[in-house]
Amino acid sequence: NLTSTAAFHNGKAIPKVGLGVFKMSDEAETIRAVQHAIQTGYKLVDTAAIYQNEEAVGQGVRESGVAREDLYITSKVWNSDQGYETTLRAFDDTLKRLKMDYLDLYLIHWPVEGKINDTWKAMEKLYADGLIKSIGVSNFHQHHFEKLFTTANEKPVLNQVELHPHLSQQPLREYLAKEDIVVQAWSPLGQGQLLTNDTLKEIAGNYDRSVAQVILRWHLQNDITIIPKSVTPSRIEENARLFDFELTKEDMERIDALNRDERVGPDPDNFD
């Protein structure tokens, strides 16, 4: 269920399913979506400074009636804020907008050439100060980790990357498993593009489930944590009903075979 977690190497753990809030720009809609998700049982909300909705997320959390310490909040430092001092400031601004006094997880949003190591130093300081319970990264290829490891004292707990049946990221997943770094999929539904896939529709029909649920269940059975986004109450609920059915090995393999190494978002090597 929604309280089930994936363990980090630092002794902490993260809920396997959370609510993503990218492109939620309407304030009232964001507050409602966050509140509805939490009342449905979601523990994790994934925001970022660049989404410009941290204030609404904070308000949704407060209006949910669930205590802050029973929830799990992630945010991310944006590219233009990377570097040591600027990351410290960006984090402080994020906390102020959320009206919170700590984050459960803070991520480097994208690897910015030449800044990875200084940004990570700031993350390590915030972690040591207890202001962030766990620190991680997003959109890192293996070579970005290798660069980070040349100066890091702490290892990232998680890498949040684009990952769905058209981009299964098998080599990166193997590397992260070896390093004991949790994988979290962004755009797990391919931003909705995968929902019309015929193979997925056929599989979904056999389980009497939606295509979205089959895709998200595929992630979970592959030990990939997920943060699907929706503002629609019924879809928020649907995206969390994943723990009462299981895909067969054959169907898992059929979905694996849909991989095309095809992104809906940018390649981290050509983006900053």
Q: Which residues contribute to the site for ligand NAD (CB under 6 A)?
A: 20-22, 46, 109, 138-139, 160, 186-192, 195, 210, 212, 227-230, 235, 238-239, 265
The number of beta carbons lying within 10 Å of the beta carbon of residue 34 is 29
* Closest residue to ligand NAD, based on beta-carbon distance: 20
Q: Which is nearer to ligand NAD, 42 or 249 (CB)?
A: 42
109 labeled binding residue: yes
Q: Distance between CA 21 and CA 33 in Å, rounded?
A: 9
Active site residue 102: no
The residue from 51, 72, 106, 127 that is catalytic is: 51
Structure tokens, 271: 């983006």
Structure tokens, 111: 């690897």
Q: Distance between CA 57 and CA 193 in Å, rounded?
A: 26
Q: How far is the CB of 42 from ligand NAD (least distance, A)?
A: 12
Q: How far is the CB of 174 from ligand NAD (least distance, A)?
A: 21
Q: Which is nearer to ligand NAD, 59 or 213 (CB)?
A: 213
Q: How far is the CB of 46 from ligand NAD (least distance, A)?
A: 4
The burial class, CB within 10 Å (0-12 / 13-18 / 19+), for 129 is exposed
Q: Which is nearer to ligand NAD, 1 or 193 (CB)?
A: 193
Catalytic residue numbers read: 51
Binding residues for substrate: 109
